[in-house]
Chains A and B, each alone.
Chain A
Amino acid sequence: MTDVTPEHLSSDESKRLKYYSASQWTLIWWRFRRHKAAMVATLILGLMALSGIFAEFVAPYGTTTRDTSYLDGAPQIPKFCDQNGCSLQPFIHGATTKRDPVTLRAISVPDPDKRVYVQFFSKGEPVKVLGFIPTDRHLFGLSDPTAKLHLWGTDDLGRDVFSRTVYATRVSLSIGVIGVMISFLLALIIGGIAGYAGGWIDNVIQRVTEVIRVVPIIPLYMGLAAAMPKEWSTTQVYFAMTLILGLFGWPTLARRIRSQLLSIRNEDYVVAARLAGARPTRIISRHMLPSFTSFIIVDLVISFPYMILSETALSFVGLGLRPPTVSWGVLLQQAQSVRVIEQTPWLFIPAIFVVVAVLAFTVIGDGLRDAADPYSDSR
């Protein structure tokens, strides 16, 4: 907003002037900013989204890169000190290959005398960031390019859990975004028709909505996901999944839009627009929707967790995304049994991401809901 503060006003008065002349969105932002937990959640989610978008740069290795000398390896935590003294640059201990005394198989043993330093912006695998910027620099890596740093350990094939989780963040969050977009679009159309038309059209739409709401949603998703042909490519499966999640995510939002539209259908300004000859699409989008946009945004944010949880649940049982695509659910598929969690608990790390992401979305949703109606109480 423009800062026109007349000189003669006291600071208190100019503050109030600022408040009264601020737009609705500025007010919402001001109120949201005061919600500390929501701000923290936004920061966390922002970091997650950034690392997902720039996954190629953030992840030191690819999703299928194997480190055959470190299968089912424990997380390697960089340290500053060891028996030979301390250094300012963090390091891990390098490995030397030895023979297993019993089976004579080559195994790698950490060598406490060999230090490999952790570097930022180190050289590694050549990748294309965002799919088109070629680089071989990664956010972090090791000074010795032949050694590999597994911050969160490796799985049974020696694939880096950290890198896979970063790539999975991209897939899981993007599925949420596209799914929410699709369901929002459907909700807008379906709720818009029902709320604007009313009458028997509304009744029919309400019945159909009721039917979708009454069937348990994850079994329904599973039914559609099970129908995906086995020979589909990973990209096809990905888009099919977003479509499935989006196709049945609309009822709650559509209800909200419908009831809001119904309640303001006969307001004077809507009638005026109708009498002026505006078409329904224009009346809805220009005159009616803006009066409750902020509530729709809140509902959109709140519906994210359901998308993410559904995707995770489906992939977890093998009905959603399929390897080699990595999503949080696909990664957790490896941690399905108690035995795995006992032996390689780090495979459970993606679960923390699911919980944190869902928590963040919920907290942001709560913060937005409090902020969405800036006129509800003067401060």
Chain B
Amino acid sequence: MLRFTLERLVGMVITMALVSVMVFLIMEIPPGDYADRYAFRKYSGTGVNVTQADIEAIRVDLGLDKPMVLRYFDWIGGIVLHGDFGQAFAFETSVVKVIGDKGFLTLGILFATLLVTYVISIPIGILAAVRRASAMDYGLTVFSYLGLALPNFLLALVLLYFASRWFGADIGGLFSEQYTDAPWSLAKIWDLVKHLWLPAFVLAWSAVAYQIQTVRATMSDELNKLSVTAARARGVPELKLLVKYPARLAINPVVSTIGFDVNRIFSELPIVAAVLGLTELGELLLRAYLDLDMYVAGAILLLLTFVIVFMNFVSDLLLAWLDPRIKLGA
């Protein structure tokens, strides 16, 4: 187990190193660099005449005149050694300050979404497999098609529309008005929980549809196994039998795709966040891209990917614990 864990950890570090190179390259693509944008932003409209020499001075000051490889190591070194993600020019402060507690909000949304996904999809998937070819089973097939076809952000719009039509309420956002700028307190956390269900449901939408199908398929296979027949012959009660043999194994593919689900949730997060007005990393990422605030964008992309890689690692460990056969193969 220890060796298995270490191997996965090393793999994780290598992946993150490669990801950081890719993220850095993306940060470098937009034309012009930080110095140009900084000078433009700071002095445009002030009447101050900015010369090429001034921009050059800013560039040297920030170390942007160095070759790309050195700049990469400056950037990644700052992150790894000091937790410094660089400067956010649109906010004229450091990236760390801009991100602030948004990281925790994002994690909150993520775990709420995962919870909703699994609480809905696992029992329903098992039930669908047990009652195969029933009306519910067919209904779920249609639903799972819709889960893929109706993009989350459109679903979010439709839900907002019906909420305002039927209840006359704006159900978007993460906090009620009085808590938006309030310091953290128990009441604020409770308020957050009350607002989380909508984004969690919207983001879980396609993952639920997908996972129901996975659970249903594995469960169907497992139900035909001889172990189930043998247990039934021994007179094990039906419910106990389901939990003990096929359901245990039907969870494995779900566990092995946790990282995949996290990836999908983060992929859809920025746009859903923009529609629902969630003030977290996804929405900040979108704004950073629109402003070409590349240090903020790069930091968020890196953080999101790190969470995905980490969840992959967790899912590997969980799977090895659930299904000891995995280790032998690896």
Contact = CB atoms under 8 A, between A and B. Distances in A.
Interface string A26-69: 00000000000000000000000000000000000000000000
A229 B31 CA distance: 7
Given A207-B14, A211-B15, A219-B270, A313 B301 contact: no
Contact of B18 (A211, A309, A355, A359): A211
Contacts of B268: 218, 313
B151 interface: yes
Q: Which 9 A-B pairs have the closest CB atoms?
A: A226-B289, A216-B267, A227-B29, A216-B266, A358-B149, A227-B30, A359-B149, A223-B26, A211-B18
Contacts of B308: 214-216
A208 B26 contact: no
B153 A355 contact: no
Nearest to B170: A338
A184 B212 CA distance: 29
A222 interface: yes
Given A219-B304, A227-B30, A342-B164, A316 B271 contact: yes
A181 interface: no
Given A211-B18, A218-B271, A226-B290, A305 B164 contact: no
Main secondary structure of the interface of A (DSSP, over half): helix
A313 B271 contact: yes
Interface residues of A, number: 43
B87 interface: no
Nearest to A218: B267
B79 interface: no
A226 B292 contact: yes
A101 B302 CA distance: 60
Contacts of B154: 332, 351, 354-355
A301 B153 CA distance: 23
B309 A214 contact: yes
B150 interface: yes
Interface in B84-140: none
Contact of B305 (A214, A222, A318, A338): A214
A363 B148 CA distance: 11
A371 interface: no
Contacts of A226: 30, 289-290, 292, 297
Contact of A214 (B148, B153, B263): B263
B273 to A, nearest CB: 10
Contacts of B305: 214-216
A317 B271 contact: yes
Contacts of A220: 26, 301
B151 A319 contact: no
A211 B19 contact: yes
Residue among A219, A227, A316 with max Cβ neighbours from chain B (10 Å): A219
B39 interface: no
Contacts of A356: 149
